[in-house]
Amino acid sequence: MILKLLSEKERMYGYEMVQRVKEMSHEKILIKEGSLYPTLHALTKEGYLTTESALVNNRTRKYYSLTNKGKGLAAPAVDELVDFQQTLKLIFGSKPALS
């Protein structure tokens, strides 16, 4: 999801990602800090993301962007999830439950 978000918006910070996913998913997917920040750090360490820090309203913000390598990771990863969603639909395709 991080890769998906950053494919659609060049520069985002962690907290913003949490809000964006919450909004896009109609409050259904709530990314926790305990999941987000370690993942962001790992992706950065592996060279998929770059960061720049900023101070906004006297609060620290750390912006993340995809590197070229990151774009290379994002494209197939997003495709895979699109595919997975469609596969899930094959099995849990929403036929409304008849009483």
Residue with tokens 């999941």: 35
CB of 98 to DNA, least distance (A): 29
Q: What is the DSSP string of 24-67?
A: HTTT-----HHHHHHHHHHHHHTTSEEEEEEEETTEEEEEEEE-
Mask: binding to a copy of itself, 1-30, rule CB under 8 A, as x and -?
Answer: x--x----------------x--xxx-xx-
| Binding span for a copy of itself by CB under 8 A among 30-38, 50-58, 60-68, 84-92 | 84-92
CB 70 within 8 A of CB 49: yes
Choose the contact partner of 89 out of a copy of itself, DNA, none; CB within 5 to 8 A by kind.
a copy of itself
